[in-house]
Amino acid sequence: MNTFRSIGNVPSLRRWLAVVAMIVVIPPLGSFFEVGAQQTRQRQVGGPKPREEEGQTIRVGTQLVNVLFSVTDKENFYVNDLEKSEVSVLENGKPQQIFTFKREFDLPLTMAMLVDVSNSVIPVLPRLTTAGSRFINSVVRPTKDLAAVIQFNIDATLIQDLTSNPPLLRRGLREIARAAAAPQRDDDFNGPLPPLNSHVDVGGTSIYDSIVAACKDLLASRQGRKTIILFTDGFDTTSRVGRSDAIDEALRAEVVIYAIGIGDMNEEGVHKKELNKLCEPTGGRAFIPRSSEDLDRAFMQLEQELRQQYLLAYEPLNETADGTFRKIEVRVNNRKGIHIRHRRGYYASRQ
């Protein structure tokens, strides 16, 4: 295990990964789009012109912003029949021309599972491990997707580095449960989640620091879709940075944050509002299960969310490389009662 935190004087995971890279060469994750909010796309002169329906984001000498988004109706069913003509995108309030629009079923995924092991969450960890293992089996596709397992309280510890091997990821979750949770009988894992009544954690919980570390040291340099799955009660007590810093780091790294709130059955045991405020600006959302069955359903919904997305790309009218934050708004015309999830913006490149 390797402890990492990107805040303060604790050694960074980046330094550890540099040592590993000297021994093991990790193949890059192939993807439809590359790292960075804006990327230069070029086509060889005289080559075949890309067909828009193929979803190619290739254009001579242009910079494109890629936006993944999902759409649900008022009954929370996914809307899967959108046409390009129905969709518009604005940057800082100004309409942009969509260059590419397509449905995405199958993009490669790089995922970091961040598991809170503070005192307030420990009783739920065995149940989380069981449901989480099923989620890994369903979502992580060998040779295509990558995932890592990280535990955190005051500090964050890498339990399993990025891998496409589901058994290694399941073992990482089991190690967390064995180390943190008191022995319980199998029949204790059924029924309602146990009341914890203790979001005041003596040991400390650094949610925001751990997100910043995972984005900077594990995900930022990766290509393709990048996601943090956060398992916590949402009460941060010891981070050196705030929620807005964690959100900014996720936006810079193009990471979507999802949270599964694990804790007490009632509102006091899980800080639902805080988790929503953390996830939504990145294009993610929070799930708050209240029983073992709810926990399984939350994982199923999360899996659907990851596989039911659209991708659009546009060339920003503002070409200034000033490093400023640009707000993104995706709209769907002539559809009532729908909800659109996407990242709220991106940071422009600097010269």
Tokens of 207: 């949610």
User: CA distances (Å), 181 to each of 4, 20, 119, 247, 265, in order?
Assistant: 22, 30, 9, 30, 18
Region for residue 279 given its phi and psi (left: phi exceeds 0; alpha: psi -120 to 50; beta: otherwise): alpha
Question: What are the residues whose beta carbons fall under 8 Å from the beta carbon of 174, sequence distance 6 or more?
Answer: 129, 133
Residue 349 main-chain phi, psi, to 5 deg: -70, 165
pLDDT value for 264:
55
**Site of tokens 């934050």:** 325
Q: Give me the pLDDT at residue 262, please.
A: 84
Query: In this predicted structure, what is the pLDDT of residue 341?
Result: 95
Strand ranges inside 153-193, DSSP E: 156-163
Q: Is 326 left (phi over 0), alpha (psi -120 to 50) or beta?
A: beta
Residues 6+ apart with CB under 8 A from 293: none
Q: What integer pLDDT is reported at residue 197 of this predicted model?
A: 34
Q: Over the chain (351 residues), what is each successive 10-residue block's mean pLDDT?
A: 41 42 36 35 36 40 82 91 96 96 86 91 84 91 93 94 96 88 43 38 82 96 92 94 97 95 67 95 92 86 88 94 94 93 93 73
SS3 70: strand
Closest CA to 267 of 279, 276, 280, 258: 276
Write down the pLDDT at residue 294. Answer: 86
Domains and CATH numbers, the chain: 2-15+107-306 (3.40.50.410)
The confidence score (pLDDT) of residue 198 equals 34
Alpha-carbon distance of 280 to 183, in angstroms, equals: 36
pTM for this prediction: 0.77
Asked if 114 and 152 touch (Cβ cutoff 8 Å), the reply is yes
Main-chain dihedrals φ then ψ at residue 309, nearest 5 degrees: -130, 160
Tell me the residue ranges of DSSP E strands in 42-85.
62-72
Strand 156-163 relative to strand 225-232: parallel, antiparallel, unpaired? Answer: unpaired
Q: Look at residue 268 in the predicted model and tell me its pLDDT.
A: 60
d(C-alpha 209, C-alpha 154), whole Å:
9
Contact (Cβ atoms closer than 8 angstroms) between residue 65 and residue 313: yes
> Do 259 and 185 touch, CB atoms closer than 8 A?
no
Contact 294, 305 (CB under 8 A): no
